[in-house]
Amino acid sequence: MGLKEVLKQKIDAHRPRTTKLLKEFGNVKLGEYTIEQCIGGGRGIKSLVTDISYLDPMEGIRFRGLTIPEVMEKLPKPDGKDYPYVEGFWYFLLTGDVPTKAQAEEVVEDFKARAQVPQYVFDILRAMPRDEHPMVMFSAAILVMQRESKFAKFYNSGFNKMTAWEPMYEDSTDLLAKLPEIAAYIYRMKYKGDTPIASDKSLDFGGNFAHMMGIKPPYDDVARMYFILHSDHESGNVSAHTTHLVASALSDAYYSLSAGINGLAGPLHGLANQEVLGWIQDVYQKLGGKVPTKEDLVKFLWDTLKSGAVIPGYGHAVLRKTDPRYTSQREYCQKYLPEDELFKVVSMIYEVAPGILQEHGKAKNPWPNVDAQSGVIQWYYGLTEYDFYTVLFGVGRALGVLANITWDRALGYAIERPKSVTTQMLEDVAGIK
């Protein structure tokens, strides 16, 4: 049974659960919120539903109930590789079932059949100024393909709420299959002397991306790992929430993902990994252009905090332990680049920063997040163009957000329209005269 057929069975079984909650338990209160949460971006207010992933403060992200180590262990891998098929992970995100290797490879073949990027996408990219930010190029390439949308054609021919998930699934899979070539084309055109590398149809998602980037193995495993780790992080983060919000208006996957990518481009979201790498390199240079002693590093970090600055890559709004995404990438580095000097600096920061932050006392979470590690790996493999890092993030994030909006349509979620209040109303509630 193919992925789409399995997904239909899952949807048919899930719909009665949502219907029952709405009809019989719709008035049950989930909790209360504060003025601080209202003004502060809605942080912590339980107002979104997703079964794709959940962020546990102590365990980190769970994809369909599995921790990151469990995902990496249980999902099928290409022969001789350490990390799972991205295509098998897509199957898993959609269905909650760990696919067999045969099922994963069936999705690999399905992606290959959908992967051809229309020529007009390349024409438009080539017409853009070469100094345009790669995220602008990436978002534009996604948006311009909206003319291909099967969901839009479905809506215009007579919308059926019960089957709306099917064209959304088709759009999402079509779009996802094309993203590696679009991303790699932008990179080679913009940074590598306009020398795009043709797709190799014999390779899987991660392997073909590495090939088109012009980076030899084991970078293919870096790609598989990176895309899986960055795929989803609950639905409240900016890129996930934006994609969901736009899709809630019955916009198709092209409109929705392009909007989510624009949110990901923000410096408080996807841009953070390049900022952390820049800071690590700055530490390295300021401490002599070599791996510092622990004593020198401790002094530098204390001086940083006393100056009112922060230690980038440390702390997280939800997590209260080391981010498992950081740990997964650290394990890769320990195996493949243990002697790299930037990695040694990252490792030393990991050894000393949590204790300093705990003693400092202002950080709610003194442990590293995913951004504290990821840029170092890309730099090691020659991908030194900071601006492109968010595009890598975007390819991975597409997995989670596209799975989410497919399920949004399957369960018939309503258009999102929260109620706003005025400052005067908040002052009245607070008793301010």
Q: Is 241 a catalytic residue?
A: no
- The CA distance from 311 to 285, in Å, is 16
Q: Is 232 a catalytic residue?
A: no
What single DSSP character describes residue 175? H
Q: Cα angle at 43 between 70 and 90, to 5 degrees?
A: 30
Please identify which of the residues 204, 252, 316, 323 carries the catalytic annotation.
Answer: 316
- The CA distance from 206 to 86, in Å, is 7
Residues 6+ apart with CB under 8 A from 180: 115, 205, 208, 209, 212, 395
Cβ density class 120-159: b for 16+ within 10 Å, e for less: ebbebbeeeeeeeebbebbbbbbbbbbebbbbbebbeeee
Strand partners, 54: 62
Please identify which of the residues 221, 252, 371, 408 carries the catalytic annotation.
Answer: 371
State the SS3 of 378-399: HHHCCCCCHHHHHHHHHHHHHH
CA 363 to chain centre: 25
Which residue's structure tokens are 């020398």? 195
Residues 6+ apart with CB under 8 A from 298: 352, 356
Please identify which of the residues 269, 296, 340, 387 carries the catalytic annotation.
Answer: 269
Q: How many CB atoms lie within 10 A of CB 387?
A: 14
- For residues 187 and 213, the answer to whether their CB atoms sit within 8 Å is yes
Name the token pair of 207. Answer: 């392997």
Strand partners, 66: 63
Instruction: Name the amino acid, one letter, at 229.
Output: L
Instruction: Name the amino acid, one letter, at 105.
Output: E
Q: Is 316 a catalytic residue?
A: yes
CA 13 to chain centre: 28
Q: What is the dihedral of CA 8, 9, 13, 15, to 10 degrees?
A: 10
Name the token pair of 431. Answer: 């008793």
- For residues 254 and 146, the answer to whether their CB atoms sit within 8 Å is yes
What single DSSP character describes residue 147? G
- The set of catalytic residues is 269, 316, 371
